[in-house]
Amino acid sequence: MTDDDIYWTLIDIANALLTGTFIGGYYAMLAVGLALSFGVMRLVNLAHGDFLIVGAYLSAAIVQILKIPSFFVLFIVAPIMFVIGYALQRILLNRVSVQAMERRGMSANFGLMAPILVTFGLGIAISHLLLGIFASDAKTIPNSLAFSAIRLTEDLSVSLLRVIFFFIAIALLIAVQVFLKNTNVGRAIRAAADNQTYAALMGIRTDHIFSVALGLSLAISGVAGFMIGMTRTFQPFDGPQFILIAFGVVIIGGMNSIPGTIVGGIVLGITQVLAGTFFGPSAQLVAGYMLVLFLLSFRREGLFSR
**Highest mean predicted confidence (pLDDT) among 105-114, 169-178, 197-206:** 169-178
Sorting pLDDT into bands at 50, 70 and 90, what band is 114? confident
Whether the predicted pLDDT of 105 surpasses 80: no
Sorting pLDDT into bands at 50, 70 and 90, what band is 289? confident
Domain 18-298 CATH (choose: 1.20.58, 3.30.930, 1.10.3470, 3.30.750): 1.10.3470
**Cβ burial, residue 178 (10 Å; 0-12/13-18/19+):** exposed
Task: Residue count of the chain, please give it.
Answer: 306
Are 61 and 238 spatial neighbours (Cβ–Cβ below 8 Å)? no
| Structure confidence by residue, pLDDT tens digits, 193-240 | 777 778 888 888 888 888 998 999 999 999 999 999 998 899 999 998
pLDDT of residue 112: 64
Lowest mean per-residue pLDDT among 14-23, 32-41, 113-122, 246-255: 32-41
From residue 179, how far is each of 72, 97, 149, 187, 255 by CA, in Å? 23, 25, 33, 8, 19
The residues spanned by each domain of the chain are 18-298
Share of the chain above pLDDT 70, in %: 91
pLDDT of residue 117: 85
* Mean pLDDT of the 37-50 span: 82
End-to-end CA distance of the chain: 46
* DSSP label of 97: S
pLDDT of residue 159: 82
